[in-house]
Amino acid sequence: MTSINVRVDGASYSDDVEPRTLLVHYLREQLGKVGTVVGCDTSNCGACTVHLDGNAVKSCTVFAVQADGSEVTTIEGVGSADALHPVQKAFHEMHGLQCGFCTPGMIMASIDLLQENPSPSETEIREGIEGNLCRCTGYQNIVRAVQQAAGELSGSAGQA
């Protein structure tokens, strides 16, 4: 067992973990952060995407011990029902989800994409989220959602 100290969604945790424990399993099984889900075992689907020190990572590709001393943000930390993140709001408004299983990872990847490229083209959006698989939507409404969120985020940045 190895001791780690992690901040997750604004709260501090100190835990002992097996060195082989994946970050996603630590989040789900030890912290109860079940908003982040597991969709595959080869880091292809991106359903488990979270932010590690501000950057999107597939949390099945990161050991919990690698997050020691880091700040993790999950889907549960980016917004709430009363104060949605613009990307969450856009997924709702543009019908960017159906079953919703890929959605947490897709939203986290999209937020990261917009941090790096605030006004992506359609092609840049499609390539920017190609590490995240969705089986329901055919992606078109996800692209629309990211486009809407980009507009809203750049608009609010302009006002600030």
Between 70 and 85, whose beta carbon lies closer to other proteins? 85
Tokens standing for 31?
């912290």
Neighbours of 128 (CB within 10 A): 21
Between 69 and 117, whose beta carbon lies closer to other proteins? 117
Between β-strands 2-8 and 11-17, what pairing exists: parallel, antiparallel or unpaired?
A: antiparallel
Q: Count interface residues toward other proteins (CB under 8 A).
A: 58
Report in angstroms how near the CB of residue 9 gets to other proteins at its nearest.
Answer: 10
DSSP symbols for 35-89: TS----SSS-S-TTEEEETTEEEETTSSBGGGGTT-EEE-HHHH--SSS--HHHH
Q: Which of 9, 52, 10 is nearest to 22 (CA)?
A: 52
Report in angstroms how near the CB of residue 27 gets to other proteins at its nearest.
Answer: 11
Is residue 126 involved in binding other proteins (CB under 8 A)? Answer: yes
Candidates 13, 65, 131, 151; binder of other proteins (CB under 8 A) is 131
Q: Which residues pair with 55 in a beta bridge?
A: 52
Report in angstroms how near the CB of residue 91 gets to other proteins at its nearest.
Answer: 5
Is the Cβ–Cβ distance between 46 and 133 less than 8 Å? Answer: yes
Is residue 134 involved in binding other proteins (CB under 8 A)? Answer: yes
Stretch that binds other proteins, among 29-37, 51-59, 64-72, 149-157 (CB under 8 A): 29-37
H or E element at residue 25:
helix 23-25
Q: Which x/- pattern, by CB under 8 A, does the window 86-105 give for other proteins?
A: --x--xxxxx-xxxxxxxx-
Q: List residues near other proteins by CB under 8 A.
A: 18, 28-29, 32-42, 44-45, 47, 74-76, 79-81, 84, 88, 91-95, 97-104, 107, 122, 125-127, 129-143
